[in-house]
């Protein structure tokens, strides 16, 4: 694509229109999807949309209302009837977006350990996925978007112009999540974080509905071998 741009003699706005409009980034827990997605969206002037926060928001709602996480019917009803607003970050406190439910900002609540422990069970429910992916698809089809999740390239937006699938060893991903928690002033035990990451990967990739897997036309990037900046540079080069 770079070559045709160089030789095309197009003006900047015309060149811009040849950028991929819908960019899907998928991969397992803590593989660096949000870091990459946010940076890429900022560089291209696109909307960044992290779909994981919607599954986390439903999980928080279920726990805070005292609904049994194993009650698929009740959990699905909550996911269907509660509007979840995801908006660009309004505060620079480390958040990548705002998550608002019932008028309440629950951005940081969605990161709580009890949400993390239960989110994969809830996101395996067919009705929950249907309700959330419908909203995600509607937003994604507007274009000029970087959408991040587990099933964006395979199910939510299979027509995405560019699909990236990030991989990294579980130990490396757990170390990043551990560092993130400590950087936010929290406390964590590394072996416990590692066990949780492995368990979440297992549930996400073995569920019946939209399991975590790369789309056939996804570009695979191994972030064990590349730092965040290098991953970003590679993806930016794929866009141009
Ligand atoms: O940031 P991290 O990778 O740890 O998690 P996340 O992207 O916030 O996603 C939290 C959980 O939501 C995942 O473990 C999946 O169970 C679920 N999820 C999903 O099923 N489909 C998506 N498109 C995004 C998240």
pLDDT per position as a tens digit, 7-57:
333 444 444 558 999 999 999 999 999 999 999 999 999 999 999 999 999
Calculate the alpha carbon distances from 222 to 35, 46, 101, 162, 225 in Å: 15, 24, 35, 17, 6
Q: What's the CA-to-centroid distance between 16 and ligand 1, angstroms?
A: 31
pLDDT per position as a tens digit, 105-155:
999 999 998 999 999 999 999 999 999 999 999 999 999 999 999 999 999
**Residue of the nearest CA to atom 14 in ligand 1?**
120
3 state SS of 191: helix
Question: Which residue do the tokens 């070559």 mark?
Answer: 3
**Residue of the nearest CA to atom 15 in ligand 1?**
120
Question: What pTM value is reported for the model?
Answer: 0.89
Give the number of the atom of ligand 1 that is nearest the alpha carbon of residue 110: 8
Compute φ and ψ for 59, nearest 5 degrees. -65, -45
Q: What's the CA-to-centroid distance between 141 and ligand 1, angstroms?
A: 20
CA distance 168 to 148: 16
**Residue of the nearest CA to atom 6 in ligand 1?**
52
> Who contacts 193 (Cβ-Cβ below 8 Å, separation ≥6)?
174, 177, 178, 181
């Amino acid at each position: 694509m770079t070559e045709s741009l160089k030789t095309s003699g197009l003006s900047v706005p015309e060149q811009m229109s040849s950028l991929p409009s819908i960019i899907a980034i998928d991969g397992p827990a803590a593989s660096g999807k949000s870091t990459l997605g946010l940076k890429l969206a900022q560089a291209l002037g696109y909307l960044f949309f992290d779909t994981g926060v919607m599954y986390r928001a439903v999980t928080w709602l279920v726990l805070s209302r005292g609904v049994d996480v194993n009650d698929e019917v009740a959990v699905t009803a909550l996911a269907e009837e509660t509007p979840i607003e995801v908006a660009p970050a309004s505060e620079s406190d480390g958040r990548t977006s705002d998550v608002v439910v019932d008028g309440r900002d629950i951005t940081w609540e969605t990161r709580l350990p009890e949400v993390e422990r239960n989110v994969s069970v809830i996101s395996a429910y067919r009705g929950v996925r249907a309700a959330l992916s419908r909203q995600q698809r509607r937003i994604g089809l507007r274009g000029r978007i970087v959408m991040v999740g587990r099933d964006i390239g395979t199910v939510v937006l299979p027509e995405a112009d560019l699909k990236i699938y990030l991989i990294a060893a579980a130990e490396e991903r757990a170390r990043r999540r551990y560092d993130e928690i400590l950087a936010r002033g929290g406390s964590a035990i590394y072996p416990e974080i590692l066990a949780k990451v492995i368990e979440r990967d297992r549930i996400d990739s073995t569920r019946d509905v939209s399991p975590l897997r790369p789309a056939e036309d996804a570009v695979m990037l191994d972030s064990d071998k590349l730092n965040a900046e290098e991953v970003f540079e590679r993806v930016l080069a794929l866009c141009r």
